[in-house]
Chain A
Amino acid sequence: MRIPCPYCGPRDSSEFSYLGDAAPTRPDPAAPGAEDAFFDYVYLRDNPAGPLEELWFHASGCRQWLKVLRDTRTHLISGAVFARPKAEVAR
């Protein structure tokens, strides 16, 4: 699999480490129902057959988190962008 890193260019997937689905966002721990929300956040994942937006870390390259669109049926990768807006990229 080749991932088109927006900084480094196309790179082999062995340069990256994989986190998983990019959709879950951390719930507010102070909000009511936080416990249930955290259960869903930690354990519940969709398992779509098709395009899925995932987080990959370019560990051997620019050391940035990327959002990569991968088709779970074919491993076709149709795009990758920085996970954070460029102005607030993690150093």
Chain B
Amino acid sequence: MAETAANIMNVTDKPFVWTRPVAPGLHGTPGAPGVTALWRENLAFATLTVRRGQEAALALAAAREHAVSLPDGPFAAQGKGHQGKGFVCFGTGPGRWLACSEEATDLAGDLAATLGSTATVTAQDDAYVAFDLSGPCVPELLAKLVAIDLDPTVFPAGSVAVTSTAHMGLMLWKLDADRVRLLVGTSLAASFSRTLAASALEYGFRLEAGRGTGRG
């Protein structure tokens, strides 16, 4: 029997059940999953906020030290960090960026060392949890979660949207043609995993836990 919304939500007499994350594995419609989500807590994050009047100096320093052109809008740009470890930064508002790295061990420290005089750099390593989505039904799933036009003609790879879903803040980042990364606040990750599962059950939903990396 296909799993129902009630039993994936594990509605039992256990206390605090709504605060628990969805269990890893295949849920909902059996067969090949329409949506696969990889729960990641092993990414490094740092916010970058330009200091007043330092826009040009920051742009110069970022280009010189990290070979990155800081995007003037909600999209991502590749940069080179300390010891050649790559990072990506994307715009979250005028003069504000979020940098994300799969490789750097001290992203905020690296950026502060080079950009700290023109921007405020804040470590956010434990602030966000990423859900990397893939599968043929991701567009249908996202249509239920956010009220944003995600057609590839207007939201190509590298685009980012800072928005909210089910009253939870959400950053949606199109990594490439097939994958979307969702960033949610760490403290909301369990709740968000339930929103995600409830929305994806009909397509077949597989949750992979790439967590437990020792950070946080």
A residues sitting closer than 8 Å to B (CB atoms) are: 7-12, 15, 60-64, 82, 86-89, 91
Contacts and interface: CB of A to CB of B under 8 A. Distances in A.
Q: Top 3 closest A-B pairs, CB basis? A: A62-B93, A60-B164, A89-B94
Given A7-B74, A8-B74, A88-B52, A15 B93 contact: no
A61 B163 CA distance: 5
B73 interface: yes
Interface in B130-171: 147-149, 161-164, 169
Interface of B: 49-50, 52-53, 55, 73-74, 91-96, 147-149, 161-164, 169
Contacts of A60: 162-164, 169
A86 B94 contact: yes
A10 B214 CA distance: 39
Contacts of B49: 91
Contacts of B95: 89, 91
B49 to A, nearest CB: 5
A63 B164 CA distance: 12
Contacts of A8: 74, 161-163
A62 to B, nearest CB: 4
